[in-house]
Structure formats: structure tokens, C-alpha cells
Amino acid sequence: MLEFFQKGLTAAIRSAQDAPARRKSRLRVQVGGAVYPVLRMWHDGLALDSTLTPHLRGLVDVYDGANHIFHCLIIATTIDGDELVCEFKHATRVRDRAALDYVQDENAPVGYLPGA
């Protein structure tokens, strides 16, 4: 139906339809000091607004509000309509403690009582 309207009106309708998706998203990508809102995210990529975001490549950080959730290595970006689609080589979940360098026994005691 949008093909019957003028191009300017069609662009305004599409941007009005996309505005709630931009406002709802708490996810954001941080590259150095720059921050870009994430429109949608899946297991090996994410989509950003192409009008706000330059082509990205390399290591980025993904935040959900104030929580740092992923370190991602972006290897490819393509423009699909108004979206900049980024593909990950890997996405590493950020932990609140250091990674273990040994296998932890599941039957190990939680703590030791001091000797009497």
C-alpha cells in the first residue's frame, strides 16, 4: 500500500513505525566513547540504525541498560534498508567473577569449619 504514496510521505510513515522500536530498546553498543542503540539482537549478530551508526568492525561492548553483558567481535556489516546489520565472529558473556582455570568438583564442600 505504501507504493501509492509520495516518497517523502512513505519515508515519514516508515520512520514513525520504527520509532517505538528505537525507544523500547535498552540494548546499546559502545565503541570507544560512542554509544549506539540496538534495534534487535540474535545469537550471531545485531541490527543498528544505519542513519546513526557508522560501519563497525572489531571489538565492541554490548550493554543492557547499565549492565555490561557481552564483548563481541564484529566481522561484517551490511546495510539492509534503514538497518546496519552486524555479524559476530564471537560474543563472550561478561561474568562478575574471574574464570576458573581448573575443573571444580561438584561434590566439594562449600566451606571448612575450623578445628576445635
> Quick one: DSSP state of residue 54?
-
26-83, pLDDT tens digit by residue? Answer: 899 999 889 999 999 998 999 999 888 888 889 999 999 889 999 999 999 999 888 9
| Cell numbers placing 62 | 554490548
The CATH architecture of the domain made up of 26-93 is: Beta Barrel (2.40)
Q: How confident is the model at residue 11 (pLDDT cuts 50, 70, 90)?
A: confident
User: For residue 28, how far is the Cα from the chain centroid?
Assistant: 6
Domain residue spans of the chain? 26-93
Contacts of 46 (CB under 8 A, 6+ apart): 27, 29, 38, 39, 40, 62, 72, 85, 86, 88
Beta strands in the chain (DSSP E): 27-31, 34-42, 45-49, 58-64, 67-80, 83-93
